Amino acid sequence: AEMFGQLTSGLEAAWSKLKGEEVLTKENIVEPMRDIRRALLEADVSLPVVRRFVQSVSEDAVGTGVVRGVRPDQQLVKVVGDELVKLMGGEVSELVFAKSAPTVILLAGLQGVGKTTVSAKLALYLKKLGKSCMLIAGDVYRPAAIDQLVMLGEQVGVPVYAAGTGIKPAEIARQGLAEAKKNNVDVVIMDTAGRLQIDKAMMDELKDVKQVLNPTEVLLVVDAMTGQEAAALVATFNVEIGITGAILTKLDGDSRGGAALSVKEVSGKPIKLVGRGERMEDLEPFYPDRMAGRVLG
Ligand code: GDP
């Protein structure tokens, strides 16, 4: 299925209602706006976001007046496109590097969202930017996750600091960071233990790890398939531990768009990177304008 396919066709219904009109008016955009609202809600964009979005598109659309040579339906497409870009944060939100090495990136997230995969993908991504990296296997409750990270590290050619499961997350963070400093590594990426749901133990662990690492980036990994729930998670983690952004995974699946469109507005934090497949190469920056282009079809 084409990503955002349903959203794209829902929006097309809105444009088609303007065929034959000569100018956008308060009256003739009522029906198209209803379609846009419905399409966004069906894509699992959170309700307050949809409300504000529809409000601002309506105002902009009526305010544009007659643009010579541009049909009203094309005008509305343009307004919606611009608003979508804004909604997703406008510009690309680049990863930040520490002034003095090592830059420390802490990854958090619930189980199964793709955190371990993202850790290795991110190491490869940074390696391609010319940075030397080290991974810390901090998912200390799942031996399988540690083994998986060690294996992926080998695959992408990045060393993995692992100390088994009989160790506290904050302690392995401390050891791993010391090792990275000793080896003059540019970037340290720490994978952490997820849970099926948010719980206090996980948040407390993350706080402890964060205190030890003093990370430049704290990125929450969220699954695009979970829609607006992903945006709510980003907001919650930000309040609880303080994060710098999100990584949205599984954008290659038939995600409806709710997560990509809601995260920034709901949490105030940008999506920095997206995962678009299971291969190690499938991680790229989140470009709001390209994403809006995909939504419009
Ligand atoms: P963790 O529990 O958060 O560490 O999740 P894992 O990294 O083990 O990933 C869980 C599953 O999701 C694995 O089967 C991954 O291959 C898969 N996965 C992760 N990222 C992506 C992605 O961007 N696209 C697809 N299709 N699958 C992904």
- Atom 2 (ligand 1): residue with closest C-alpha? 112
Confidence of residue 115 (pLDDT cuts 50, 70, 90): very high
Distance 190 CA to ligand 1 centre (A): 16
- Atom 17 (ligand 1): residue with closest C-alpha? 114
Q: What are the tens digits of pLDDT across the range 126-143?
A: 999 999 999 999 999 999
- Atom 12 (ligand 1): residue with closest C-alpha? 114
Tell me the residue length of the chain. 297
pTM of the predicted structure, to 2 decimals: 0.96
Confidence of residue 63 (pLDDT cuts 50, 70, 90): confident
The confidence score (pLDDT) of residue 275 equals: 97
Distance 241 CA to ligand 1 centre (A): 23
- For the cut 60, the answer to whether the pLDDT of residue 91 exceeds it is yes
Answer yes or no: is the ipTM higher than 0.90. yes
The predicted model gives 237-245 an average pLDDT of 97
* % helix, strand, coil for the chain, step of 5: 50, 15, 35
Among candidate residues 143, 209, 217, the one with its CA nearest the CA of residue 174: 209
The confidence score (pLDDT) of residue 2 equals: 63
The confidence score (pLDDT) of residue 255 equals: 82
Look at 197 and 87; give whichever has higher pLDDT.
Answer: 87
- For the cut 70, the answer to whether the pLDDT of residue 263 exceeds it is yes
For 296, residues 6+ apart whose C-beta sits below 8 A from its C-beta are 8, 11, 77, 80, 81, 84
The confidence score (pLDDT) of residue 268 equals: 97
Kind and range of the H or E element at 216? none
Q: What are the tens digits of pLDDT across the range 180-221?
A: 999 999 999 999 999 888 899 999 999 999 999 999 999 999
Nearest atom in ligand 1 to the alpha carbon of residue 191 is 4
Residue 274: burial class (beta carbons within 10 Å; 0-12, 13-18, 19+): buried
Nearest atom in ligand 1 to the alpha carbon of residue 249 is 23
β-bridge pairing 187-192 and 217-223: unpaired
- Atom 13 (ligand 1): residue with closest C-alpha? 114
Q: What are the tens digits of pLDDT across the range 8-55?
A: 999 999 999 999 898 899 999 999 999 999 999 999 999 999 999 999
Pocket-forming residues, ligand 1, beta carbon under 6 Å? 109, 111-117, 145, 194, 249-250, 252-253, 275-278, 282
Look at 191 and 2; give whichever has higher pLDDT.
Answer: 191
The predicted model gives 55-62 an average pLDDT of 93
Pocket test for ligand 1, best of 3, 111, 117, 282 (most atoms within 8 A of CB): 117
Pocket test for ligand 1, best of 278, 280, 281, 284 (most atoms within 8 A of CB): 278
Residue 68: burial class (beta carbons within 10 Å; 0-12, 13-18, 19+): exposed
The residues that bridge with 223 in the sheet, in sequence order, are 249
- Atom 27 (ligand 1): residue with closest C-alpha? 278
What strands lie across the sheet with 217-223, from one edge to the other? 160-161, 133-138, 187-192, 103-108, 217-223, 245-249, 271-275, 283-285
Tokens of 262: 């809601």
The predicted model gives 156-180 an average pLDDT of 96
Among candidate residues 152, 160, 162, 157, the one with its CA nearest the CA of residue 120: 152
- Atom 26 (ligand 1): residue with closest C-alpha? 277
Confidence of residue 66 (pLDDT cuts 50, 70, 90): confident
Distance 51 CA to ligand 1 centre (A): 32
- For the cut 60, the answer to whether the pLDDT of residue 102 exceeds it is yes
